[in-house]
Amino acid sequence: MKILVLNSGSSSLKCCLYEIGETLPSAVPKALWEWAVDWTHRAGLAEITLKTAHGAALKSETTAQTQTEVMGYMLEQLCQGETQAIAQLSEIDVVGHRVVHGGTQYRESERVTAEVKQAIADLACFAPLHNPINLEGIETIEQILGDVPQVAVFDTAFHRQIPLAATVYPGPYAWYEQGIQRYGFHGISHQYCAERAAQLLERPLDDLRLIVCHLGNGCSVSAIRHGHSVDTTMGFTPLEGLMMGTRSGSVDPGILIYLLRQAGYSPDQLEDILNRKSGLKGISGLSADMRQITEAAAAGNSRAQLAFDLFIHRLRASIGAVLLSLDRLDALIFTAGIGENSALVRAAACDALDVWGIKLDSQLNDASPVDQDIAHAESRSRVLVIHTQEDWAIAQDCWRILSPGSIGAVER
């Protein structure tokens, strides 16, 4: 089965093609073809990177501003020239989409129907930067590939079994009735890491108690018991919780009332500040990139040091908070750009966990681990670094749903 996976964000589009045979492989196979478009580096230009399993590569730029414009070009490259991976588009059996918000309706991946599309559109009020783009991706595929089966894999689905006490905000109960509740995000990554941890630890997922720290541009921590998320730091929107690259994470809501009332801010200005001018970038005044923050801090830049210290303080506090939703901890997992690559962040986070008997092996931590246990032999819990593979997780759900004998929806 040839599976095209689309992962579209507000300023990037990633796409890859996998082929899965009659059984799911236990190791992640190499994608036949990978494509990435990034609109963030140069104003008015999108940078395109393309590579194939056979080593062909292409780097180019386009003035195309929407994913619909870019996707037509992208699908042409899939079938022709040096970067060709298939003879014709009709070879694609299914297209899987990462959809950010599935609301309360979807606790599993779903085959796209008119009803699913309507639900994604209706939920755009909760995820205005993401759901409309996700829907545009689905509709563009319909225009280009006709009635090829499509599957929506929701970032909120993995958190749908979080108990009510961790779901409802302590405002008026009417909020909850209006859908103002904690949804949680990054679920595809948290779930993938939990499943991979079970493989690495050679234990059934159902028996494990895990904490996953997804630390990328967006950051969230989740606690996992019996293979389900039981608490997570992101809430109604992906703004809650940890400090992030440009997002503030949780702040006292009184600050927002103060700024609206006393400083004359508009809702749009607040949204811009909280999403794009806060976090590592806002505090350091330098960069949202942890590499630049740690370099500048090491060179004596005090605001970069403060940004790093704040990031760690909040990460430790969140690990501590979700830990109390578990009755023990089998493994603490670090994933995504910062979690996978920053030995400094992992060491600083784990420093505070000594009190619970969780200890890193500093040599293993410093040796660029991938899908590896980096805990000290005497540590009470394992500490794993896992390379998150959201696209592969989406491809697997497509395979499960489309394989003969499936019933159209899947709970992993």
Which string of DSSP letters, residue by residue, matches 164-199?
Answer: HHHHS-SS-HHHHHTT-S-----HHHHHHHHHHHHH
Distance CA 239, CA 155 (A): 14
Cβ distance to ligand ADP smaller for residue 216 or 369? 216
Please identify which of the residues 155, 231, 330, 397 carries the catalytic annotation.
155
Closest residue to ligand ADP, judged by C-beta, is 337
Distance CA 256, CA 254 (A): 5
**Cβ 125 to ligand ADP shortest distance, Å:** 23
For CA atoms 97, 238, 216, 393, the dihedral sign is negative
Cβ distance to ligand ADP smaller for residue 227 or 339? 339
Q: Is 155 part of the annotated catalytic residue set?
A: yes
**Cβ 368 to ligand ADP shortest distance, Å:** 9
Cα distances from 42 to residues 46, 65, 121, 409, in angstroms, run 7, 12, 30, 40
**Cβ 21 to ligand ADP shortest distance, Å:** 29
**Cβ 247 to ligand ADP shortest distance, Å:** 11
Cβ distance to ligand ADP smaller for residue 69 or 289? 289
Distance CA 11, CA 150 (A): 22
Binding site for ligand ADP (CB under 6 A): 216-218, 245, 288-291, 336-338, 341-342
If we measure between CA atoms, which residue out of 242, 238, 240 comes closest to residue 213? 242
Per-residue burial over 293-314, b if 16 or more Cβ lie within 10 Å, else e, is bbebbeeebeebbebbebbbeb
Distance CA 163, CA 154 (A): 19
Cβ distance to ligand ADP smaller for residue 40 or 143? 40
**Cβ 170 to ligand ADP shortest distance, Å:** 29
For CA atoms 242, 248, 254, 257, the dihedral sign is negative
Distance CA 103, CA 157 (A): 8
- Structure-block tokens of residue 109: 């991946």
| Catalytic sites, residue numbers | 155
